[in-house]
Structure 1
């Protein structure tokens, strides 16, 4: 993937060990300890491509994520997400897939253009690799579901996975929001508490599992998220390709 430059930011693939360690250090700050001082690393890093979004002038890393391409759903058991979700139903997906993981933005930076550039880079990768489904885990900060009940109610009412692809429970601790919640969501509160990455997935036609995994290691609640590329609304696809171009 060639470097993508838009405004103040540029996105590129990691090329060196130092690049990957910079991404792991940002992940540590975002997922483990805001004070930093460590690396968030796991065995999946070795098999993924790592995308870095940097401030063009200073070179400061402001966002990162990793990508694991799969030839089809038959290989989905090798994904990071398969540790937490029973994804056997997606084993029948015949097209190329990519798992996006460890997405994070530096907490001290508040600029929507960062997310826009990240999705532009993702769009370039999807088009170049002829990807037909994008998937991963979308995380809510903390493990207390009470802070996100409207968001989970919104997911239940509008964004559950099609039955043919629906992930089943595998993790030992989950919040079965589709089963437990009976409330009508407050749309404004739901969108305010929805993670920005997940909001973007949903605007493009993405869907989620019917339960959230309680991940105490990373202090998050996460839902499996899928997006079939053919389902992205044409107007949204044009916007993404305009950024990617």
Structure 2
């Protein structure tokens, strides 16, 4: 994937140790609100490619994510997500896959172009490498599930994974929203509470697990999210490719 410049922002692959440290610092701030110099690090960082979105003027890092390519479903147990979800159903997926992880935007930034540029960079990578599925953990801030009941109810009604790919429970602490929630969602509130990354996945035809993992280490609730590239509506593909061109 080559560098992508659009408007005020540029996306590029991390090349140096300093680049990686900057991404880890932003992740710590975005997920845990920690500004004392701590870093969000794990064993997956060395085997992933890290993508940075920076302001063209000044070079401030405003967004980052990492990608882990897999040759196909037979390698699904290598993924970060496999620590939290039983993904044996996806072992039968026949085609290149990419796990997109640790996606975050600087808490002080709310420009929607940041997300557009990030997705444009990801789209360029998908096209260049003939990727057939994107997946990862989409995170809700905090671990209070009640705050997100409307969002979870909408996921239950409209966006559950096809049975052939449905992840099963593996983590010890989960919220089984598909089984437990009986409420009809307030769709406006559901959209307001939906994380921007997950909202974009869903707009493109993505789907989620039927439960959320309560991750107290990262202070998040997250759902497994999958997106089959062939399922993306043609108009959405054209828009993403225009950004990534």
Query: TM-score surpassing 0.5?
Result: yes
Does 2:212 align with 1:212?
A: yes
Distance 1:111 1:36, change over 3 A: farther
Segments of 5+ residues of structure 2 without an aligned counterpart are: none
User: 2 CA distance for matches of 1:204 and 1:58?
Assistant: 33
Match of 2:166 in 1: 166
User: 2 CA distance for matches of 1:174 and 1:100?
Assistant: 21
Match of 1:88 in 2: 88
TM-score normalised by length of structure 1: 0.99
User: 2 CA distance for matches of 1:67 and 1:166?
Assistant: 22
User: 2 CA distance for matches of 1:45 and 1:199?
Assistant: 25
Match of 2:138 in 1: 138
SS in 1 for 2:30: helix
Match of 2:190 in 1: 190
Q: Which runs of 4+ in 1 moved over 4 A?
A: none
Does 2:110 align with 1:110?
A: yes
- Cα deviation, 1:168-225, whole Å, max 9, x if unaligned, reads 0000000000000111111000000000000000000000000000000001000000
SS in 1 for 2:53: strand
Are the equivalent residues in 2 in contact too, given 1:72–1:94 (CA < 8 A)? yes
User: 2 CA distance for matches of 1:85 and 1:211?
Assistant: 10
Does 2:177 align with 1:177?
A: yes
Match of 1:23 in 2: 23
Cα distance, 1:34 vs. partner? 3.6
Cα distance, 1:33 vs. partner? 2.9
Cα distance, 1:32 vs. partner? 2.1
Segments of 5+ residues of structure 1 without an aligned counterpart are: none
Distance 1:55 1:123, change over 3 A: same
The two structures, once aligned, show a CA RMSD in angstroms of: 0.6
Cα distance, 1:110 vs. partner? 1.3
User: 2 CA distance for matches of 1:36 and 1:102?
Assistant: 20
Does 2:36 align with 1:39?
A: no
Cα distance, 1:36 vs. partner? 4.0
SS in 2 for 1:50: strand
Distance 1:228 1:152, change over 3 A: same
Count of aligned positions: 245
Q: How does 1:226-245 map to 2 (within 5 A)?
A: 226-245=226-245
Match of 2:97 in 1: 97
Q: How does 1:120-159 map to 2 (within 5 A)?
A: 120-159=120-159
SS in 1 for 2:57: coil
Cα distance, 1:2 vs. partner? 1.1
Are the equivalent residues in 2 in contact too, given 1:28–1:36 (CA < 8 A)? no
User: Could you tell which deviates more after superposition, 1-10 or 32-41?
Assistant: 32-41
User: 1 CA distance for matches of 2:240 and 2:212?
Assistant: 28
Are the equivalent residues in 2 in contact too, given 1:29–1:36 (CA < 8 A)? no
User: 2 CA distance for matches of 1:34 and 1:54?
Assistant: 20
TM-score normalised by length of structure 2: 0.99
